[in-house]
Chains A and B, each alone.
Chain A
Amino acid sequence: MTPPAPGKLKIYLGYAAGVGKTYQMLTDAQDLHRQGHDIVIGYFEPHGRADTIAKTEGLEIIPRRKVEYRGAVFEEMDTDAILARRPEICVVDEFPHTNVPGSARIKRWEDVTVLLEAGIGVLTTMNIQHLESLNDQVWQISGVRVRETIPDWVVKQAEQVVMVDVTPGALVNRLLRGVVYSQEKSKKALENFFQESTLGALRELAMRQTAHESESHHVESDIAESDRNAAISHGTALETEPVVAPTDRFERILILVTADPSSAMVIRRAKRVADYLHADCMAVAIQRPTGGNKVAAGEREAIERHLNFARNLHIDARLLDAESAGDDPAKALVEFARVNGVTQLFLARPRGTGLKGMLQASIEQRIVWLSRDMQVTIVADRTRCA
């Protein structure tokens, strides 16, 4: 039996709660239902909004699964029941949701992947702040460290990303309407003022991201088309070399992963740049001989964690032995980069400050010094300074 063709994924992208993602999704679901498509609701979060709830009318809802965890009962999407029902299209609210422990899969996007693989089309919703590669920037803008993130490659799989847009002013109005004003009106206004600029910045990010997703779609179809054309003009089968603008193939990015927490930031940023440049992306950590002491063991664990984080973002990540380069980690990295045709290195900012930072050559400085034949990007700390 041949597996079914994978279902198509459509994402309704917003920049805050209340912009109308779910409403828009359900409006489309109603249209599809009317057109005769077999569509069901797999998961829907009503949030007590009457007009959104009204939009589910007439649509079949797959009951949620009850999960007990630490004495409390939680409700999750019943992926198995949806698979058994096998609809053509399934509506799944809140794409970035994390399932309660004990569920078959950790993340809802993994459940969605299962549905797609079974040939079921999925409509889902998310906000821009949940995109992994923007995590640091979102923190910088909003002061919120978003924990529930979705790897960029998962979003990239979507057939369509639609932006659900309202203006921040209208959104704030929506939130305030019916809400009693406190006496501290001015204080609240000031808070809202900051809030509105934050919303504006997130909204801009969502617009740019939607444009980017749309662009990568037709860039890819352009590449496919030029492949086809090349095949035709050569009169050969599609085994010919893919035709890609040569400059696109030139870039290969290598990330230096360390035990330092800033590694996550460097990985996200480098991957984002690589995606935009259509560049390859790799990551390495340099293993130093340890002699089995405790600090080194903790470091090793952190490095392993960071490498796994990179792998989850679909980056080729490995551990490199420094011994080959005479225990010189900077040299080991640069040599590895040369052998692998790397054009850009991505590093964290040197940590050392004060006198030590001034007087001691950091590994980062040594790398900049040694790698004079490639570009080296020192990734900024995207921190919030109070």
Chain B
Amino acid sequence: MTPVTRRRTPEELLLQVQAEEAQDSRGRLKIFLGYASGVGKSFRMLDEGRRRAERGQDVAVGAIQLPATQDVEELLKKLEVIPLRTMDGARVMDVPAILKRQPRVCLVDGLAWDNPSGSMNPSRWQDVRQLLDAGIAVIASINIQYIAELQGQVERITGKHVTQTVPQSFLYGTDEIVVVDAPPEMCFGHSGQGVAGDPTRLAHQLSELREIALLFAADVVDHQLETYLKQNGVAASYGTQERILVCITPRTSAKAMIESGKRNAERFHGELIAAHVRQGRLDDQAKAALDRNLQMAREAGAHVEILEGDDPIEAILEFARERGITQIFMGHGLDTQWWHRWTGGPVGRLIRGAQGIDVRVFPQ
């Protein structure tokens, strides 16, 4: 749908004001996201630093992972490096030195690095937050295996457990995220991969990790897009991510719908939402059936919403528009009144009202 500028709600104005204020004083954060070591995250990060420095920006390197590859070493020669300092025998980013030096842009590798106890911040990503708060822009790089919420998924693939992580919310708060995508083959022969075994299996694992990285980045972009549109009072849904809404009533045989919704959401890497529109009082039997259906939806991983509204079809449509739903799953009504053959009944109304949204009608 075309973005339509409309009057902004107070909440949206507040969001914008907050965002603008934060923008003014805070440094911008840009992150290069990789799916394995060897895809070239550090190189891309330093290369951007080099280009910015050549354009006259004040750039300094805050932290870099060692040992570096040869091309990374070459880049480092062209940049000012603020050396790490040693604390309790551990090498940590020298935050006080960076704050004192106050570059416009600081390059930081190894975001998940833990600082030794007694440091101002437990982890390096919190050091970065401190730099951002001080108005220094940061360009950083991270491997998906260090994102806390992705750990389970990544561990299942690599069989390796990492203890140092960065919370997902920190990455959602970035101003810019870039995927460093190289096909799995590019990573062959690179040391430090750590996934032993035959090349086919390795390629397979890498491609799974790559997929996780791409989808994570897509989610971050989706989140940013939504925030951006909201801040600017644009009522638009681009349908870039599939969002499936399953309509639940006490009467629907919800099982087929929920199962199908779950499968569709999984295949599209989309979102599954189940909604019920509360209407009047239900007898005990209907209530029990409804609870069963809603529980089933929850177990399938659906986000469950109870909606209010005198007109259930209108309530569903309004919710769907607001949430950027791309597909509505609905059960075929049991009502067999003759006039519904002509008007289509509630299903017909939903179909006519669902502008820009697919409607899937399920047999009952």
Contact = CB atoms under 8 A, between A and B. Distances in A.
A260 to B, nearest CB: 16
A360 B341 CA distance: 9
Nearest to A369: B341
Given A218-B207, A375-B361, 17 more contacts: A140-B238, A170-B176, A200-B224, A207-B214, A208-B218, A208-B269, A214-B214, A273-B264, A276-B267, A276-B268, A349-B351, A350-B352, A359-B342, A365-B348, A368-B347, A372-B364, A377-B358
- Which 8 residue pairs across A and B have the least CB separation, nearest first? A211-B214, A207-B218, A201-B238, A167-B176, A204-B240, A160-B183, A163-B181, A377-B360
Interface string A213-225: 0110110010000
Contact of A375 (B240, B260, B352): B260
A221 B204 contact: yes
A46 interface: no
B188 interface: no
A382 interface: yes
A277 B263 contact: yes
Tell me if A's interface is mostly helix, strand, loop or mixed.
helix
Contact of A376 (B178, B221, B356, B361): B361
Contacts of A383: 356
Contacts of B218: 204, 207-208, 211
B65 interface: no
Tell me if B's interface is mostly helix, strand, loop or mixed.
mixed
Nearest to A376: B361
A101 interface: no
Interface of B: 1-3, 30, 176-183, 185, 204, 207-208, 210-211, 214-215, 217-218, 221-222, 224-225, 228-229, 232, 234, 236, 238-241, 260, 263-264, 267-269, 327, 332, 341-344, 347-348, 351-352, 354-364
A339 interface: no
Nearest to B342: A361
Contact of B360 (A137, A201, A211, A375): A375
Contacts of A207: 179, 214-215, 217-218, 221
Contacts of B1: 140, 384-385
A373 B229 CA distance: 41
Contacts, number: 163
B363 A375 contact: yes
B359 A377 contact: yes
Contacts of B2: 143, 384-386
Given A201-B238, A208-B214, A368-B361, A163 B179 contact: yes
Contacts of A378: 351, 354, 358-361
B332 A215 contact: no
A269 interface: yes
A166 interface: yes
Contacts of B269: 208, 211-212
A179 interface: no
B181 A165 contact: yes
A137 B344 CA distance: 28
Given A360-B342, A374-B363, A380-B355, A277 B264 contact: yes
